[in-house]
Amino acid sequence: MSRRQISPNSLKILYRLNEAGFQAYIVGGGVRDLLLMQTPKDFDIATDATPEEIKKIFGNARIIGRRFKIVHIQFGREIIEVSTFRAAPENSVAIVGDSLARKVTHLDSAHSENGMLLRDNVYGDIEGDVMRRDFTVNALYYTVQNFAIHDYVQGMADIQRRTLRMIGDPLQRYREDPVRVLRAIRLAAKLDFAIEKNTAAPLQDCARLLESIPPARLFDECLKLFFAGQAQKTYRLLKQYGVFQILFPATGELLDQNDEGTRVLLENALENTDSRIREGKSVTPAFLLAAILWPPLHKLFGQKLAAGTQPLPAMHESAQTIIMAQLERLSIPKRYSIPMREIWEYQLQLPRRSGKHAEIMLGHKRFRAAYDFLLLRESAGEDLQGLGQWWTDYQNASAPEREKMQAEQMKTRHNTRTRKRKRRVKSPGSHSEQ
């Protein structure tokens, strides 16, 4: 592994910690990705220095204490995470009680009844640290003392075999932290690795455990699942192991009923996401979430129309219901849920194209997303009578052509209205018109 590919700032931290008499390693995705010739997202550091000791060495260090107490060291825009070796959860007390008493600043490891790890701030040594990592390929420790990689769990062999293997007993490790279910799927898709048999076996049953994860953490993990360039592959694995159905229950239900429109819409939306990322275009969680939730929304909307509700309130009420239900699983921040709703509501506006409407629509800040969304719906088989093509043509048209298109709409609209009126006289009970 060449030092040139490693962020100079993280190397600097390793040297400074070594000079102060501590062990220090780069570990996790940074080492793994370099060995696989991929570009690492970040370089995490593990050390036997406590957060307080680290802070004394680095002026630019901040102790962060959410789930674990870790240290962030900031160099300009780069933030490097440094964490103190933690004891392996299952035998933390034993390890702490033996040789590592010096490191124990607080005894703070707790499990819930179902084996979930609640807190684990018990400091340990490198061997303990290895055991609390998830997969063997994530537990390779790189040191600048002899530029070697320390491998306690045959992670190198698994890199070569392109295999994702859980350290320890997979079932127990998923129970300790169900987010590992998502990590297994995300990393298998990202690295194009096979999930080792015993590591894969409990996935299906453990998917349910994700229900106990706070919706905010689950949402963060969800973004990582779908915006790392492998959304489609990730989604297929999520579905295969029954995890997608847990994350998005309403959409999952339609998939389980083999609803073809839902299946195609999701495949296309995720494929678009991946190709946009490949082309360096922007991707927004709001758009993808709007797509994932569209099938159940559309179904509910249809039911409300059939029951006689007007389109606009029907859309509002359906959006409210679908979002409220989804929030129980994933806490979607307002900055995503608001544009998501707008994309949906615009689907009711896009058919109105006569007179000035078309021009006003085009100027809206959400037009582009709403138009892309319309194309997505059509690609999944919704028959919108050429609406997408109309908007494509309209955007490409010259000013006089646009006026002609608007005028034509005016005529069709007039015709539809008279037709509707006539029909209404014939069948006053009909609610099928919009």
CB of 185 to ligand ATP, least distance (A): 12
CB of 28 to ligand ATP, least distance (A): 3
Pick 184 or 340: Cβ nearer ligand ATP = 184
Distance CA 201, CA 205 (A): 8
Choice from 158, 177, 221, 274 touching ligand ATP (CB under 6 A): 177
| Residue 366 CB partners (closer than 8 Å, separation 6+) | 339, 342, 343, 346
151: which strand partners? 140
179 binds, among ligand ATP, Mg ion, none (CB under 5 to 8 A by kind): ligand ATP
CB of 103 to ligand ATP, least distance (A): 19
166: which strand partners? 135
- Using the Cα atoms of residue 273, residue 275, residue 277 and residue 280 in order, give the sign of their dihedral: negative
| 139 contacts Mg ion (rule: CB under 5 A) | no
| 221 contacts ligand ATP (rule: CB under 6 A) | no
Pick 29 or 124: Cβ nearer Mg ion = 29
| 42 contacts Mg ion (rule: CB under 5 A) | yes
> How would you write the chain as a 3-class SS string?
CCHHHCCHHHHHHHHHHHHCCCCEEEECHHHHHHHCCCCCCCCEEEECCCHHHHHHHCCCEEEEECCCEEEEEEECCEEEEEEECECCHHHHHHHHHCCCHHHCCCCCEEECCCCCEEEECCECCHHHHHHHCCEHHHCEEECCCCCCEEECCCHHHHHHHCEECECCCHHHHHHHCCHHHHHHHHHHHHHCCEECHHHHCCHHHHHHHHHHCCHHHHHHHHHHHHCCCCHHHHHHHHHHCCCHHHHCHHHHHHHHCCCHHHHHHHHHHHHHHHHHHHCCCCCCHHHHHHHHHHHHHHHHHHHHHHCCCCHHHHHHHHHHHHHHHHHCCCCCCHHHHHHHHHHHHHHHHCCCCCCCHHHHHHHCCCHHHHHHHHHHHHHCCCCCCCHHHHHHHHHHCCHHHHHHHHHHHHHHHHHHHHHHHHHHHHCCCCCCCC
| 180 contacts ligand ATP (rule: CB under 6 A) | yes
Stretch that binds ligand ATP, among 86-94, 156-164, 175-183, 400-408 (CB under 6 A): 175-183
| 330 contacts ligand ATP (rule: CB under 6 A) | no
Phi, psi of 141 (to 5 degrees): -110, 120
Pick 41 or 368: Cβ nearer ligand ATP = 41
Contact characters 12-31, Mg ion, x per CB under 5 A: -----------------x--
Residues 150-209 that bind Mg ion (CB under 5 A): none
Query: Which residue's CB comes closest to ligand ATP?
Result: 29
Contact characters 105-134, ligand ATP, x per CB under 6 A: ----------------------------xx
Choice from 47, 92, 138, 245 touching ligand ATP (CB under 6 A): 138
CB of 43 to Mg ion, least distance (A): 8
286 binds, among ligand ATP, Mg ion, none (CB under 5 to 8 A by kind): none
Longest CA–CA separation in the chain, Å: 91
CB of 248 to ligand ATP, least distance (A): 21
Say if CB 164 and CB 194 are below 8 A apart: yes
138 binds, among ligand ATP, Mg ion, none (CB under 5 to 8 A by kind): ligand ATP
CB of 229 to ligand ATP, least distance (A): 11
Pick 29 or 339: Cβ nearer Mg ion = 29
125 binds, among ligand ATP, Mg ion, none (CB under 5 to 8 A by kind): none
Neighbours of 192 (CB within 10 A): 11
| 179 contacts ligand ATP (rule: CB under 6 A) | yes
| 170 contacts ligand ATP (rule: CB under 6 A) | no
Q: Which of 53, 59, 62 is nearest to 20 (CA)?
A: 53
How many positions of this chain bind ligand ATP (CB under 6 A)?
Answer: 13
234 binds, among ligand ATP, Mg ion, none (CB under 5 to 8 A by kind): none
Stretch that binds Mg ion, among 6-14, 36-44, 72-80, 89-97 (CB under 5 A): 36-44
134 binds, among ligand ATP, Mg ion, none (CB under 5 to 8 A by kind): ligand ATP
Which amino acids are annotated catalytic?
A: 42, 44, 134
Residues 18-47 that bind ligand ATP (CB under 6 A): 28-29, 41-42, 44
CB of 34 to Mg ion, least distance (A): 12
Binding site for Mg ion (CB under 5 A): 29, 42
User: Which residues make up the interface to ligand ATP (CB under 6 A)?
Assistant: 28-29, 41-42, 44, 133-134, 138-139, 177, 179-180, 183
